[in-house]
Chain A
């Protein structure tokens, strides 16, 4: 299946090092990856495994210490501000914490208008802009007319994250990096957010790179799974391969950390098996 798919984002030997000398920390260590367009890719790992740093590098928010990143088959060039802006038209992100993702001094309209302006819609008539914003909001089941002149922090966490998706809907990037978009909101809203992400992929045709620490979630949504441990990708492949047939011990451990409600005994027995195997 991957033969017909186009390579949209790939990296070779991507490394990020913070500090130098004794305080040197390798956050992302010589990572190779290939992301194909139209996929929903999960990057799974625990806190501190370098997921977020990788995302920041992919977004161009942090410099890359070493290695190359290719975007749509071309080496990525984000040296000037103009080129960066062009790059960000193709790649966007949703952050983990909806409460800190918004400028608390800007109204919701401003957030959405910025996206229209970025897509070159600065000179559009006001009615068209309003119509576009209304459409984006209805895409994520928000009522635009109730939200004009409100501030983002007046919404609930789930609504804020949905607004974030509405923002992405307006920007229509080729790639969306979702950095644990569901970890800060309650379980009921979580499913909704995931549904909207899938809807984005299916209706708009976006490639979604989904960062999570939750294996179950990754299995539920993704086509391809990358497992990261201490800055390295230890295992990758299709979701079925990786999760039903794990090879790396770290993957097995992650799988065992998924809480099983019905069978606590099974859970602890699994644990023992791991230690036996290890």
Chain B
């Protein structure tokens, strides 16, 4: 056992998988300490706010601690920040396809993407959000709309006058602030700052906070589903493998029955038959666990069948031990490592199944808890995140699911290599 443990700790795959998994777990436990509160609280009314640091505009103007920098080429820096090389490429792409559609005769040589004024002149001359180019997706069109809005007033260097309404005359004449393009505010001086590393989702909720809570819930679902599936699979596998005969036939009949029905169909039918309100994360986990034990049963059974005629089992029989005692003492320890591996894989399957069910709207009831699957569901629910360009609402979720199942599978493979001498490299 000790040598096995040492081998596990030397297995590169296991260590990588374990490190990723431990990091995810650590995030789940530590992040709420720094950012407490309800993860599903709507912090803003707008859907899909971009990731970043948000400072209150009012408070920034009101700090009275404005630093006037005069960095060389301040205007160029500002333009570069607003118009990235990718944006320039996009503009050229749009112009070329527009000219092709309208027969303007613009070629790549006519457009110099390094010459900002020329490029923007062309853009403002031709671009209109109403224009539909052939073969352009809605998502791409929305992207150009957003780009156009962002580029509005790109070359404007006039001072910005902020006026306030005079309550007596009813006119805007009290000068609140004058801001020139050289004025900067230190973020630390601004009273109201909101950090949204992953922006908000379609309901104006902090995605990162939601994601951390969702990973926690999904891991729980995986753990419960995995435990149930492994417990059922192990018990049935041990019984049918050890006792054999008619018991084996009956157990294998049901196992084969469940194996031939695609798991997803069974999951959908059972989930659908439970009402939306009663479907909490635990219920969903139980449903996943109850439908996912078949292959564990099969593999445990075959392992037990190869063990039950070994001499040490015969010796135990000759010592007058009862069947439960033989199973617990002479069979179970020999397949324990295998069961641990199956358990890890079942957790991963549980998490993926939950995500699948929730994407179909059959997951845990919405608005009370966040799970990884529900987050994906939400991102396609209201105004589709993909079309709004809100990658932050679903990419991190996909990445989290991928990382969790990757780390679990890696640990599984690592353990397999340690416990299965034929696979050792």
Q: From A152, which residue of chain B is reached at the shortest CB distance?
A: B312
Is the beta-carbon distance between A85 and B320 smaller than 8 angstroms?
A: yes
A54 contacts chain B at the CB level, 8 A cutoff: no
* B311-A106 in contact (CB<8A): no
A96 to B334 Cα, complex, angstroms? 21
Question: Contact: B333 with A88, CB < 8 Å?
Answer: no
**CB distance B310 to A100 under 8 Å?**
yes
Interface size class on chain A is: 20 to 34
| B201 contacts the other chain (CB 8 A) | no
CB–CB B316/A103 < 8 A:
yes
Nearest to A99 among chain B residues (CB) is B311
Q: Is there a chain B Cβ closer than 8 Å to A198's Cβ? A: no
Pick from A92, A96, A102: contact of B312, CB below 8 A: A102
Q: Which of B315-351 contact A (CB under 8 A)?
A: 315-322, 329-330, 333-334
User: What separation, in Å, do the CA atoms of A92 and B318 have in the docked complex?
Assistant: 7
Within the complex, what minimum Cβ distance (angstroms) separates A211 from chain B?
Answer: 14
Contact B320–A88 (Cβ < 8 Å): yes
A114 CB → nearest B CB, Å:
4
Chain A residues with CB under 8 A of B329: 103, 105-106
Contact of A115 among B311, B312, B317, B319 (CB under 8 A): B319
Tell whether A81 is near chain B: CB-to-CB under 8 Å: yes
Q: Any chain B CB within 8 A of the CB of A64?
A: no
A59 at the interface (CB under 8 A from B): yes
A101 CB–B CB distance under 8 Å: yes
- B314 at interface by CB-CB < 8 Å: yes
Complex Cα distance A37/B330, Å? 33
Cβ–Cβ < 8 Å partners of B318 in chain A: 59, 61, 88, 92-93
Contacts of A93 in B (CB 8 A): 314-315, 318
Chain A residues lying within 8 Å of B320, measured Cβ to Cβ, are 84-85, 88-89, 118
Known: A114-B319, A118-B319. A61 touches B314 (CB 8 A): yes
**B319 partner residues in chain A, CB cutoff 8 A:** 88, 114-115, 118
Of the candidates A84, A95, A104, A105, the one whose C-beta lies within 8 Å of that of B314 is: A95
A95 contacts B315, C-beta separation under 8 Å: yes
Cα distance A114–B318 in the bound complex, in angstroms = 10
Bound together, the chains give a CA A144 to CA B330 distance in angstroms of 24
Among A89, A102, A105: residue with most chain B CB under 10 A: A105
A68 within 8 A of B: no
A106-B325 Cα distance, complex, nearest whole Å: 13
Which residue of the partner chain A has the closest CB to B333?
A105
Of listed A81, A93, A114, residue having the most chain B CB within 10 A: A114
Say whether A97 contacts B333, CB under 8 Å: no
Which residues from 258 to 276 on chain B have a C-beta closer than 8 Å to any C-beta of chain A? none
Name the B residues within 8 Å of A104 (CB-CB).
312, 333-334
A104 shortest CB reach to chain B, Å: 8
In the complex, A191 Cα to B311 Cα: how many Å?
Answer: 23
Residue-wise, chain A 100-123 has the 8 Å CB interface mask toward B (1 for contact) of 111111100000001100100000
Asked if A101 and B322 sit within 8 Å, CB to CB, the answer is no
- Known contacts: A81-B322, A106-B329. The answer to whether A101 contacts B311 by CB under 8 A is yes
CA distance A97 to B318 in the complex (A): 16
Given that A105-B333, A106-B329 are contacting pairs, would A100 and B322 also be in contact in the complex, using a CB cutoff of 8 Å?
A: no
Per the bound structure, the CA–CA distance linking A114 and B312 in Å amounts to 13
Whole-angstrom CA separation of A105 from B337 in the bound complex: 13
Please give the distance in Å from B143's CB to the nearest CB on chain A: 63
CA distance A89 to B333 in the complex (A): 27
Q: How far apart sit A188 and B319, CA to CA, in the bound complex (Å)?
A: 29
A95 contact from B311, B322, B330, Cβ within 8 A: B311
Please provide the chain B residues from 276 to 333 with a CB less than 8 Å away from any CB of chain A in the complex. Answer: 310-312, 314-322, 329-330, 333
Query: How many Å from the CB of B332 to the closest CB on chain A?
Result: 9
Residues on A with C-beta less than 8 A from B334 are 104-105
A101 touches B317 (CB 8 A): no
B322:A97 contact, CB within 8 angstroms: no
List B contacts of A105 (CB < 8 A): 329, 333-334
Q: Taking A81-B322, A105-B333 as contacts, is the C-beta distance between A61 and B312 under 8 angstroms?
A: no
Can you name the residue of chain A whose Cβ is closest to the Cβ of B309?
A61
Known: A81-B322, A88-B320. A101 touches B333 (CB 8 A): no
Q: Are B317 and A61 in contact (CB under 8 A)?
A: yes
Distance (whole angstroms) from the CB of A160 to the closest CB of chain B: 11
Supplied contacts A61-B314, A92-B318, 20 more A-B pairs, CB within 8 Å: A61-B317, A81-B322, A85-B320, A88-B317, A93-B314, A93-B315, A93-B318, A97-B311, A100-B310, A100-B311, A101-B311, A101-B315, A102-B312, A102-B315, A103-B315, A103-B330, A104-B334, A105-B329, A105-B333, A105-B334
Q: List 30 A-B contacts (CB under 8 A).
A: A59-B314, A59-B318, A61-B314, A61-B317, A81-B322, A84-B320, A85-B320, A88-B317, A88-B318, A88-B320, A93-B314, A93-B318, A95-B311, A95-B314, A95-B315, A97-B311, A100-B312, A101-B311, A101-B312, A102-B312, A102-B315, A103-B312, A103-B315, A103-B316, A104-B334, A105-B329, A105-B333, A105-B334, A114-B319, A114-B321
The 3 closest A-B pairs by CB, nearest first: A105-B333, A85-B320, A95-B311
